[in-house]
Structure 1
Amino acid sequence: MTVILTTSPGFGKFGRVAEAIAQNGWELVRCTDTSLPDGGVSAEIARADYLVVGLVAVTAGTLAQGKNLKAVLKHGVGVDNIDIPACTAAGLPVTNTPGANADAVAELAVGFMFGLARNMAAGHASVVSGGWARQVGTQLGGKVLGIVGLGNIGRRLARLARGLGMRVVASDPHADAAFAKEWQVEIMPLEALLAEADYVSLHVFGGADNAALIDARKLALMKPTACLMNLARGEVVDLDAVAEALTAGRLGGAAIDAYVTEPPNTSHPIFSHPRAIFMPHSGADTREAVENMGLMVVEDIATLQAGRMPARCLNAKDL
């Protein structure tokens, strides 16, 4: 029997994915124990044929334990937690699910903007504590949204923002010029975007190349009323610098969905700031997105079992 090990809490739980796994006669093993550094992978990986990856890192050491592995498949888009060169050296294809969660992440970004603009977290806390602290917020129409990373998610967010009457600017060296023209998205350097935008939404890959992309120097370029939203990876933002900017009144608000360590250490001062809101890395967590990602993973496993290379393989040319 084919054994699929997953570190993704949502894989196989929603929609047609569980049925597809059962119909194929595959065994699904979950390694999602948050009390263990690897979720429990080391105890099960020796018998796994396929590794479906959530946020637990896949290293050369992981692969050394997986003697029966035939492929590594990301249940999501970002593969910064997968050592792709090590997978290639081991002869293992690596796939991901581009576009499957774009709508979900983009919609959360819009939710963050509404939450920040209308002080929703503070309003909720006031009402449930017996208070009635009404605050005057702002509207999104006419404001400037700066999107850093105009990929699948960024483009979906741009369309939603244009529908809200926002002006949209973006920073991406590989931006789709035809899309930008159609949706009236102005492409500009990151520094210019930060100075222009009322809301900055991050949608870039993690890893060393983008570590502390938004640091104290970049934050200093932003308007003191502007809000920063990180729906990318935790390391993309210098959280210390964000907390300092909020406290000093040099930043209007922050919304965070990704953290360097997950769950994060909530003793950090940013978690007590009234103008910061948080989600537990839930950008892709809709039933629709999780089903889409799962079906793509199932399709790629079936393709591999049929002796073919999936179109979504990231290292096919090196195998």
Structure 2
Amino acid sequence: MYKILTLNNISVAGLDRLPRDNYEVASEVAHPDAILLRSYKMHDMEIPKTVQAIGRAGAGVNNIPVDKMTARGISVFNAPGANANAVKELVVAGMLLAARNISQSWKFATGLEGDDAVISKNVESGKKNFVGFELPGRTMGVIGLGAIGVKVANVCRALGHECYRLRSHHHGTERLEAGGRCGAGAECRRSALQGGLCHLPCAA
């Protein structure tokens, strides 16, 4: 029976991968064999001598003292790309919010007062301020084709964008759907981009 110490709330979908017949998983465990965490800062934590592995449910490991763990022979694992789809959806939501002035029009609509006739009149006179624009035909640049950038680039193509994808290497380009261009920085600048998305690590 392996003992797993959790330092943050971990998704049940993830914990279900650890059969209860073989693993004891809890937020309070004596002499754990491994540690699971998300954002908990471990730098000032006293790591039990029994720990053999640390797993982070996330991309980065800046909250884990990796060098110290390496010196002790403790393996550190992360999960790059695990949240890529969620981030892609938020990026697309942000694009639509901006293109259609949804936040501004929502604020306008919720501030309307009066009877139906007054509200209808104010809507007709005010809606021209929130027209926005359609996405098809726009030229979009996507910088960084990692787990997130590839998904965003594919969605941009599906929305009808002329899409320029900038990458420094070919890793990830095999997951790009047909269409669009992978170019160098100068090519992207010449293309008169109408929008740009950067998906780069903090160290880039």
Give the TM bin, normalised by the shorter chain: 0.7 to 0.9
- Give 1:23 shift: 4.6
114 and 130 in structure 1: CA distance in 2 versus 1, 3 angstrom threshold: same
111 and 75 in structure 1: CA distance in 2 versus 1, 3 angstrom threshold: same
Alignment correspondent of 2:132 = 137
Q: Does 1:186 align with 2:182?
A: yes
Q: RMSD of the alignment, in Å?
A: 3.2
- Give 1:96 shift: 1.9
Contact 1:146 1:201 in 2 (8 A): yes
Alignment correspondent of 2:118 = none
- Residue 91 of structure 2 aligns to a residue in which SS? helix
Q: Does 1:173 align with 2:168?
A: yes
Deviations 1:201-224, CA, capped at 9 Å, x for gaps: 232222xx34xxxxxxxxxxxxxx
Alignment correspondent of 1:51 = 35
95 and 163 in structure 1: CA distance in 2 versus 1, 3 angstrom threshold: same
* Separation in structure 2 between the aligned mates of residue 80 and residue 146 of structure 1, nearest angstrom: 29
Q: Does 1:67 align with 2:25?
A: no
Q: Does 1:28 align with 2:62?
A: no
Deviations 1:101-147, CA, capped at 9 Å, x for gaps: 32222122111111111122222223233365531111111122222
- Give 1:192 shift: 4.8
Q: Which has the larger radius of gyration?
A: 2
Within 5 Å, which residues of 2 pair with 1:239-278?
Answer: none
198 and 98 in structure 1: CA distance in 2 versus 1, 3 angstrom threshold: same
Alignment correspondent of 2:110 = 128
Contact 1:54 1:76 in 2 (8 A): yes
Q: TM-score, normalised by structure 1?
A: 0.50
Identity of aligned residues (%): 27
- Give 1:148 shift: 2.4
Within 5 Å, which residues of 2 pair with 1:228-239?
Answer: none
**Corresponding pairs, count:** 190
Q: Does 1:12 align with 2:28?
A: no
Q: Which runs of 5+ in 2 are unaligned?
A: 114-122
* Separation in structure 2 between the aligned mates of residue 7 and residue 190 of structure 1, nearest angstrom: 46
Alignment correspondent of 2:119 = none
Contact 2:4 2:29 in 1 (8 A): no
Alignment correspondent of 1:111 = 93
* Separation in structure 1 between the aligned mates of residue 141 and residue 30 of structure 2, nearest angstrom: 46
